[in-house]
Structure 1
């Protein structure tokens, strides 16, 4: 187990280094000049040169990258070109909002997606299967921003069930904070819910047709117990993989949802930074999201061995 974890940590470290290179080069490939955005359109060449020197943009790209990596290792993500606020402060203020939103959304997607997927598999070819299939098609085909606009119009404006925008800190007021996040979380969870539903249904149908399930039924074991204890447990491995990938996707894909519902999350921060060519903020946000992806994938790999001890680790069974 220790050898397996060390191997995964090494792979994660290499991935993070390669990602930092891609992030650094990609950000500098964006059109536009951050020095011009900071100094103004009417700035003279001398002013632009001074701003570039202050930002370190007059140095060779390799030197800029080395300085960037050194600053990150010291925990210094620089200052925002647009506001002058330390990037660490901006990320620490906005990241919790996105994490609460993504966490709420993944809970909704897992509970409803797996539940409806099991229901569809158990009642295969009957009306629950057709109904859940329609839900999956709608979740995958209708854009989330369109669902979000409709939800605001009907659930917030017409019916007044939920607030149309705004955010309350969940830690300060849990009930009101979760209430504000409920509608955005359900909107963000739609595509993930649909994917989990379809994957759970397919895995459950395959497992329910296995020999050990038929043996359990022949011995007279109760059908609910067969479904929950044996079929679902053997089907959940593939679902865990999908959940791990989707959780990272929800964090990075919350841009549209945060923009629609005016949530002060990291997605909105990223969008504002791209518009103003704020290099330090863009680099920090993408690096944090990448690190989040890597950690989630590592935890997912480890979780496999908890769910199913038969999984081989390092070429040997546990």
Structure 2
């Protein structure tokens, strides 16, 4: 186990280094000049040169990258070129909102997706499977922004079931916070529920057709015990993989949903930094999201051995 963790940790570190290079170069490949945005359209060459020197943009790219990595290792991600606020403070204020939304959406996606997958696997060739497959097809086909607009128009404005926008901190009012996040979490979790549902159905069909399940049925084990103890439990490896990848995607892909529902999360911060060419904020946000992806994948790999003890992480066959 120790060797496996060490192996995965250095792989994760190498991935993070490569990702930081891509982020650093990609941000600077964007059109526009942050120095011009700070100095103004009427700024002269002297003012632009002073701003570039202040931001370190007058130095060679390798020097800028090494300085960026050195500061990131110490937790110093710089200051926003637009507001002057430390980037760590801006991310600290917006990341909890996105994490709450992503976790809530994933809970909805897992519950709905696994329920639909179990029904589709148990009732193959009958109307529950057709209904579940129709839901997954529609959820994957409908764009998130269009579904969000429809939800605001009908569920929030006309019916008044949910607020159309806004955010309440759970530290101030937990129940009201859940109420405000329910509609955006449902919209964000719909497509991910479809993915979970399809993977659950596929893995459960294979599990229910296995020899040990037929043996359990022949011994007189009840249908519910067969489905949940043998079918669903042995399908959790695939579902865990999907959920881990989807959770990272939810954190990164909440941009559209946060924009529609006016949530002060990382998505809004990312779009604002792109529009204003705010290099420190943009590269810090992307780096944090990349690190979240890597950590989630590492946790999923370790969780495999908890779900299925037959998996030996040391790499030796059992």
TM-score, normalisation: structure 1: 0.99
1:229-268 equivalences in 2 (<5 Å): 229-268=229-268
Q: Is the Cα contact below 8 Å between 1:117 and 1:196 reproduced in 2?
A: yes
Query: Who is 1:157 aligned against?
Result: 157
Partners of 1:111 and 1:98 in 2: CA distance: 20
CA displacement 1:252-305 (0-9 Å, x = unmatched): 000000000000000110000000000000011001001100100000000000
- Give how far 1:172 is off: 2.0
- Give how far 1:42 is off: 1.2
Partners of 2:302 and 2:317 in 1: CA distance: 14
Structure 1 position 7 matched with structure 2 position 7:
yes
Partners of 1:312 and 1:132 in 2: CA distance: 35
Query: Who is 1:222 aligned against?
Result: 222
Partners of 2:38 and 2:138 in 1: CA distance: 44
Partners of 1:17 and 1:314 in 2: CA distance: 25
Structure 1 position 139 matched with structure 2 position 139:
yes
Q: Between Structure 1 and Structure 2, how many residues are aligned?
A: 318
Query: Who is 1:193 aligned against?
Result: 193
Q: 305-314 vs 261-270, which deviates more?
A: 305-314
Structure 1 position 43 matched with structure 2 position 43:
yes
CA displacement 1:206-239 (0-9 Å, x = unmatched): 1111111111000000010010011111111111
Partners of 1:290 and 1:314 in 2: CA distance: 26
Partners of 1:175 and 1:313 in 2: CA distance: 41
Q: Which contiguous aligned blocks of 4+ residues in structure 1 show a shift greater than 2 angstroms?
A: none
Partners of 1:317 and 1:202 in 2: CA distance: 26
Partners of 1:137 and 1:185 in 2: CA distance: 19
Query: Who is 1:312 aligned against?
Result: 312
Partners of 1:232 and 1:305 in 2: CA distance: 17
Q: Is the Cα contact below 8 Å between 1:184 and 1:261 reproduced in 2?
A: yes
Partners of 1:299 and 1:237 in 2: CA distance: 13
Q: Is the Cα contact below 8 Å between 1:19 and 1:290 reproduced in 2?
A: yes
- Give how far 1:314 is off: 2.4
1:89-128 equivalences in 2 (<5 Å): 89-128=89-128
Query: Who is 1:31 aligned against?
Result: 31
Q: Is the Cα contact below 8 Å between 1:310 and 1:317 reproduced in 2?
A: no
Structure 1 position 67 matched with structure 2 position 43:
no
Partners of 2:120 and 2:38 in 1: CA distance: 56
Query: Who is 1:88 aligned against?
Result: 88
Q: Which runs of 5+ in 2 are unaligned?
A: none
Query: Who is 1:55 aligned against?
Result: 55
Report the 3-state secondary structure (helix = DSSP H, G, I; strand = E; otherwise coil) of the residue aligned with 2:76: coil
Partners of 1:171 and 1:9 in 2: CA distance: 34
CA displacement 1:143-187 (0-9 Å, x = unmatched): 011110000000000000000000000122110001000000000
Query: Who is 1:291 aligned against?
Result: 291
Q: Which runs of 5+ in 1 are unaligned?
A: none
Q: Is the Cα contact below 8 Å between 1:98 and 1:267 reproduced in 2?
A: yes
- Give how far 1:317 is off: 4.9
